[in-house]
Chain A
């Protein structure tokens, strides 16, 4: 199924990927080609086939809830692009009214 430029714009926004001029055509073309190959999955009857949820059977393990050493505040913030007073600076999510 070919992907339209509008769908590329929609998917890019869902994924929070900024597009550059020409990207809509470029990705519409390339993703359509890949989806063309992927469409062969529809040839298979999978009505009674369970989806793979986990490929290797590993049971969940529990552990005691005990305090353990962890990163210091300084270490946790060492890679932060814009730390402020021991916090991560984040973009505002509300606008001033």
Chain B
């Protein structure tokens, strides 16, 4: 087996070879580091690397494998989005305002994967504070799509998606506030999953919009995504929104196939404005395969779809304007503390530290919450959120899961949407409903359009991760559409 072959494995395959003694965790790390050295100057998935961690963690994994008590992810190479705190590792949320920040603790989701034996390779690039759909809003540099380096990988977790797609990591963590795991997974041709709100603790996540944010996995198979999700789920006393439901329940019955299941196709999603013909063709083919596998495809409706983006772009910016108030130049990060007075200190710190998109959203959210506008914008949006959630509740009366495209388009050229924020926001029109309603959702590869990956989205009712995974796995098996590793150059 060549070094590059080791960067194409899934967790299941790698774990078997590790336990057989055919390869070591150190071999896996070396293979991935070699590939990163060759490719990442083109893809630019990573912001920084963690050699001290990977050496220590791989050594520990190899020791435990030799002793025969290897945990589930022993030796599995992991990349972590730059919004998840890891003790002593510079974590910046893709922002200049946090340059140099080294968290004094490790967040729960990452910590649980470390306990399960994962080996961290590095920190991946993202849109600043996870605000964006292309990773072009990173305060450092844009990441490129491994399938076409002139195109975006999607976002905001674009670095994590690109790392898994290019064989620069076996699995990765991202966060999804409006589609930031599922959309880049679709554009890069990998599996990406957003859990139910409350499934995974956010302790140690640099918050963007707290009523929407969730942490989830990127992987090259549905099984791998399911394993990673199950290991990081479950109650955490350090996050009051985390549920006490057992993490392992996400695996319940998930290999049972789709025979007899009812899968809803919302007409508003199927015919969404701006959907590319090639994407629609790929979804039609996927629906055909699911029907052949025994699912019943039913027509459902989400009548308030047209209002989702508007509600989201009040709620998310309002929450971000509050969350980002903590960046005041006093406790951490960039600081203009020698300004002549306190107001100037705040103004200068935040002007010099935040990029254009973050400033845009902080202002939008501040406006929506400001005196005289609260009822017209924020309260109205939260009422519309109720209507959107009811749409999903009603749809799930008629079906077990909802299927659609993840993104209306394939990966677009770098720069194509940066001048028009609304066009960028529309990238998430099929994913953000799942966040507003707190639902679990996954994107799995479902072929290509014009040579670029297309993603199939499966949404389930709250706490229905096992249903979502079951449909995704059945599709993956029936279509033989395994996520492939991009050749890059």
Would you call A56 and B196 a contact (CB within 8 A)? Answer: yes
Residues of A within 8 A of B (CB): 3, 7-8, 11-12, 14-20, 27, 30-31, 33-35, 37-42, 44, 46, 49-56, 58, 60-61, 63, 71, 75-76, 78-82, 88-93, 95
Q: Provide a sorted-by-A list of 15 A–B residue pairs whose CB atoms are within 8 angstroms.
A: A18-B347, A20-B351, A27-B360, A34-B364, A37-B313, A41-B307, A41-B384, A42-B380, A44-B384, A49-B383, A50-B386, A51-B385, A55-B438, A56-B438, A92-B341
Chain A, Cβ-Cβ closest to B105: A71
How close is B129's CB to chain A, nearest CB, in angstroms? 14
Choice from A15, A34, A80 contacting B422 with Cβ under 8 Å: A34
Would you call B196 and A52 a contact (CB within 8 A)? Answer: no
Would you call B370 and A11 a contact (CB within 8 A)? Answer: yes
How close is B312's CB to chain A, nearest CB, in angstroms? 10
For residue B280, CB closer than 8 A to chain A, the reply is no
Would you call A15 and B362 a contact (CB within 8 A)? Answer: yes
For residue B260, CB closer than 8 A to chain A, the reply is no
Note all chain A residues with C-beta closer than 8 A to B313: 34, 37-38
Which one of A19, A51, A95 has the highest number of Cβ atoms from chain B below 10 Å of its Cβ? A51
Tell me, in angstroms, the Cα distance from A89 to B330 when the chains sit together: 7
Would you call B379 and A51 a contact (CB within 8 A)? Answer: yes
Count of chain B residues near A, Cβ 8 A: 71
Note all chain A residues with C-beta closer than 8 A to B387: 44, 46, 49
Contact flag A55-B436 (CB < 8 Å), given A46-B384, A79-B101, A81-B335:
yes
Contact flag A40-B310 (CB < 8 Å), given A19-B351, A56-B196:
yes
For residue B243, CB closer than 8 A to chain A, the reply is yes
Known: A44-B304, A46-B383. 12 other contacts (CB 8 A): A11-B367, A17-B362, A34-B425, A38-B313, A42-B376, A51-B385, A78-B102, A81-B337, A88-B331, A89-B330, A89-B337, A92-B341
How close is A30's CB to chain B, nearest CB, in angstroms? 6
Note all chain A residues with C-beta closer than 8 A to B352: 18
Note all chain A residues with C-beta closer than 8 A to B462: 56
Choice from A78, A81, A82, A93 contacting B342 with Cβ under 8 Å: A93
How close is B20's CB to chain A, nearest CB, in angstroms? 41
For residue B332, CB closer than 8 A to chain A, the reply is yes
Note all chain B residues with C-beta closer than 8 A to A78: 102, 104
Would you call B386 and A51 a contact (CB within 8 A)? Answer: yes
Chain A, Cβ-Cβ closest to B310: A38
Tell me, in angstroms, the Cα distance from A77 to B386 when the chains sit together: 42
Choice from B310, B367, B386 contacting A41 with Cβ under 8 Å: B310
Would you call A52 and B310 a contact (CB within 8 A)? Answer: no
Choice from B345, B359, B362, B438 contacting A91 with Cβ under 8 Å: B345
How close is A25's CB to chain B, nearest CB, in angstroms? 14
Contact flag A38-B240 (CB < 8 Å), given A3-B367, A88-B330:
no
Chain B, Cβ-Cβ closest to A51: B382
Chain B, Cβ-Cβ closest to A76: B104
Would you call B366 and A15 a contact (CB within 8 A)? Answer: yes
Closest 3 CB pairs of A and B: A18-B351, A81-B335, A51-B382
Tell me, in angstroms, the Cα distance from A80 to B330 when the chains sit together: 7
Chain B, Cβ-Cβ closest to A38: B310
Choice from B196, B350, B360, B376 contacting A18 with Cβ under 8 Å: B350
Which one of A30, A55, A56, A89 has the highest number of Cβ atoms from chain B below 10 Å of its Cβ? A55
For residue B339, CB closer than 8 A to chain A, the reply is yes
Interface residues of B in 197-244 (CB under 8 A from A): 197-198, 211, 237, 240-241, 243
Interface residues of B in 59-105 (CB under 8 A from A): 100-102, 104-105
For residue B247, CB closer than 8 A to chain A, the reply is no
